[in-house]
Each structure stands twice: as C-alpha cells, then as structure tokens.
C-alpha cells in the first residue's frame, strides 16, 4: 500500500523519516507494515543481523519514537509525527494532570513513577524495582502497554546481554523511558501547542496522505477515539 521494501537497516531508517508511521507487524490496513515489505533475508536472516536487531539502531539513528501505539502492536513514529500523535493520545493531559482528574489507577501511577524516576531503564530492572514477576505483582505487560498507548512511555532503545567474550547474544531487552526524558524541552513545549482534537486531525490527515486507498474508518480506528476537546 505504500512504497517500501526493506533489505537493510538504512531502508528502515529512511522509511521512518519519509512516512512518519511504520508499524512493525501486519494490522487492519493491508500492506501497512514492515512485515509485509521486508526481504525474507532481513526478516529472519540465516546469519548476521535483520530487522529484529535493527530496532535499537533505528531508534537511535532516526530519533524516532517506538512503542506499542496501534492496538498493542509496535510502531516506529518519526520525531516530527510523534509530537502531534502524543498530543492527541494524551488528550491534553500531562501525567500529573491526568492523575489529578482521577483518570489514572494506582498501578499506572506506580509504574509510571518508576520509569520517570529512573529513565532510561531496562525492562528487567524495571520489573525488579516494581516487584513484578512470577512471585510478585502481575499485569506488567498490560500496564506498560497502556502507558505506551497513551504516549506517556515509549521504548528508547534495545540492549543486548553480552557474553564473556563481549559479544551480544539473545533477544534485545527493551529500555523504557518517557517522551519528556527522550526529547526534553522541545517535547514539553510542543506537545500541548494544539488542542487534542487539532492534533488528532493533523495526525489523521498525515495517515490519509500516506494511505490514500485505506478506508477512513480503519485509519480512525488506528488512532482510537477522537478527543472531545
């Protein structure tokens, strides 16, 4: 549905910068994912690196936001597109204001506070600090996914464990942070410059330009409920 074919890391970086929104996996809009536009040798390479290993470098080199933003599925969002997107998803609230209006649960406040106070923080360390795990609190994935959906948390990098030889191995560990920590004052100044509805409409318009053949209801469904303000 959009002009994208990924063979190397640079292709993915260019896609994020060009399109603004690049979902990792298949979703409700056919053709709108890396999975559907990735060379087989880059999806699961027999040797060397592929899209799974490129996630961290793409985040770092492009400056994009990465998180589970569309229905619990991961999306790369360019820095430029993310500010309006976060404005719409946050509905005009920073986290403290959302809490003051009774719109956060104790569990959300607890987890968000851990990240905000320790960002950037690896998922393993975050779980240890929060007491999440087999014999501790449950619901970590649900909570962290919801906070990503609302654009209060994102994944700022992936860090690989290293062996005695110093070489990385296994799956990359997500490193969580807040947009305020990642983007600093630029984000704080920009994120509430529009009303949530204006930010929503700007984001919807961007997606419509990117995906002109996609049904409007499906584009709206990706963004979620239109803000009332």
Considering only residues 167 and 40, tell me which one the structure prediction assigns the higher pLDDT: 40
Considering only residues 163 and 62, tell me which one the structure prediction assigns the higher pLDDT: 62
- Per-residue confidence band for 79, with pLDDT thresholds at 50, 70 and 90: very high
User: Does residue 86 surpass a pLDDT of 70?
Assistant: yes
For a pLDDT cut of 70, what percent of the chain falls above it?
A: 98
User: Where are the chain's structural domains?
Assistant: 9-222
Looking at residue 122, its pLDDT comes to 97
Tokens representing residue 156 in the block? 């700022």
- Per-residue confidence band for 1, with pLDDT thresholds at 50, 70 and 90: low
- Determine how many CB atoms are found less than 10 A away from the CB of residue 216: 10
| Radius of gyration of the chain from its Cα atoms, rounded to whole angstroms | 18
- Per-residue confidence band for 110, with pLDDT thresholds at 50, 70 and 90: very high
- 3-state secondary structure (DSSP) of residue 173: strand
Reported as a single tens digit per residue, the pLDDT across 162-201 is 877 877 777 899 999 999 999 999 999 999 999 999 999 9
Considering only residues 134 and 114, tell me which one the structure prediction assigns the higher pLDDT: 114
Tokens representing residue 37 in the block? 């536009």
CB hemisphere CA count around 112 (13 angstroms): 23
User: Does residue 14 surpass a pLDDT of 70?
Assistant: yes
- Distance, in Å, from the CA atom of 88 to the CA atom of 193, rounded to the nearest integer, reads 11
Closest CA to 124 of 133, 135, 134, 111: 133
C-alpha dist (Å) from residue 221 to 76, 169, 197, 200, 218: 18, 37, 15, 12, 5
User: Does residue 3 surpass a pLDDT of 80?
Assistant: no
Residue 81 and residue 23 in contact, taking contact as beta carbons nearer than 8 Å: no
Looking at residue 153, its pLDDT comes to 98
- Distance, in Å, from the CA atom of 53 to the CA atom of 82, rounded to the nearest integer, reads 23
User: Does residue 90 surpass a pLDDT of 90?
Assistant: yes
- Give strand pairing partners of 68: 74
- Per-residue confidence band for 4, with pLDDT thresholds at 50, 70 and 90: confident
Looking at residue 226, its pLDDT comes to 84
Average pLDDT of the chain is 93
Looking at residue 2, its pLDDT comes to 62
Tokens representing residue 87 in the block? 């404005």
Closest CA to 151 of 223, 229, 56, 53: 223
- Distance, in Å, from the CA atom of 199 to the CA atom of 90, rounded to the nearest integer, reads 10
Looking at residue 163, its pLDDT comes to 76
State the average pLDDT over residues 2-30: 92
Q: Which long-range CB contacts under 8 A does 40-48 form with residues at least 24 apart?
A: 41/7, 42/6, 42/7, 42/8
């Amino acid at each position: 549905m959009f002009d994208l074919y990924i063979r190397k890391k640079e292709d993915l970086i260019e896609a994020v910068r060009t399109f603004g929104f690049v979902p990792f996996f298949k979703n409700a809009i056919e053709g709108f994912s890396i999975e559907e536009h990735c060379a087989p040798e880059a999806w699961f390479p027999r040797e060397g690196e592929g899209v799974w290993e490129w996630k961290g470098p793409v985040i770092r080199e492009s400056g994009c936001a990465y998180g589970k933003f569309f229905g619990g599925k991961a999306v790369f969002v360019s820095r430029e597109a993310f500010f309006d997107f976060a404005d719409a998803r946050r509905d005009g609230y920073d986290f403290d204001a959302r809490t003051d209006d009774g719109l956060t649960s104790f569990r959300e406040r607890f987890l968000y506070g851990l990240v905000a106070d320790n960002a950037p923080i690896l998922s393993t360390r975050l779980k240890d600090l929060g007491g999440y795990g087999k014999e501790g609190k449950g619901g970590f994935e649900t909570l962290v996914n919801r906070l990503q959906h609302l654009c209060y948390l994102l994944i700022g990098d992936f860090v690989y464990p290293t062996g005695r030889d110093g070489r990385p191995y296994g799956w990359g560990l997500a490193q969580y942070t807040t947009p305020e920590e990642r983007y600093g004052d630029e984000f704080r100044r920009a994120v509430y410059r529009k009303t949530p509805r204006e930010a929503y409409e700007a984001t919807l318009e961007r997606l419509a330009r990117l995906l002109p053949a996609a049904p409007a209801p499906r584009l709206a469904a990706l963004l979620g409920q239109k803000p009332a303000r």
